[in-house]
Amino acid sequence: MLTAIKEILQKKVDQAAVLEEQHLGLQSALYINPIHLVAVCQVLQETEGLYFDFLSNITAVDYHPENYFEIVYHLSSIPYQKELVLKVKLENDRQQENLPELPSVSSVWRTADWHEREAFDLMGIFFTGHPDLRRILLPDDWQGFPLRKDYVDPETYHNIPIK
């Protein structure tokens, strides 16, 4: 199934849309070129025979001490009873003022709105084109991204001890 989907995406989007197939682990995945992410998602959602109509989750994985993150999308096609995992690798220097960026897929699946906000809030992934990208779990003035492996817990928050 993965190779067939890859071929459809290469035909309908671009030859460089899918960077590689991953067949290791519990779920196979397609690594997507970030510049083609939204177009890939639109094709997966709109194409007869695929119709991935449900985005169940977006998560981010920190590969510290390496300077990259992976964003993982879990898709389901309810009518065709298929599941698909997409991954996007983002190189980044890990500096607070230079967040890794990826286009938002909230225009394809509305559920991406909240998932992307969570990945922004906790891992510092910036989703360009997101309709309302702001913190969702932490206070607006919180410093840093607590699910990053290099995050250091602050001693206090507004003079309230945290530890």
Ordered by where they begin, the domains of the chain are 2-161 (3.30.460.80)
Instruction: Give pLDDT, residue 62.
Output: 97
For the chain, the farthest-separated pair of C-alpha atoms sits apart, in whole angstroms, at: 57
CB 110 within 8 A of CB 85: no
Can you give the pLDDT at residue 51? 97
Residue 119, amino acid: A
The rounded radius of gyration (Å) of the Cα atoms in the chain is: 17
The answer to whether the beta carbons of residues 88 and 20 sit under 8 Å apart is: no
pLDDT in the model for residue 117: 98
Bridge partners for 60 per DSSP:
71
pLDDT of residue 163: 72
What is the pLDDT, as a whole number, of residue 25? 82
Specify the 3-state DSSP secondary structure of 46: helix
pLDDT classification of 72: cutoffs 50, 70, 90: very high
pLDDT at 3 over 80: yes
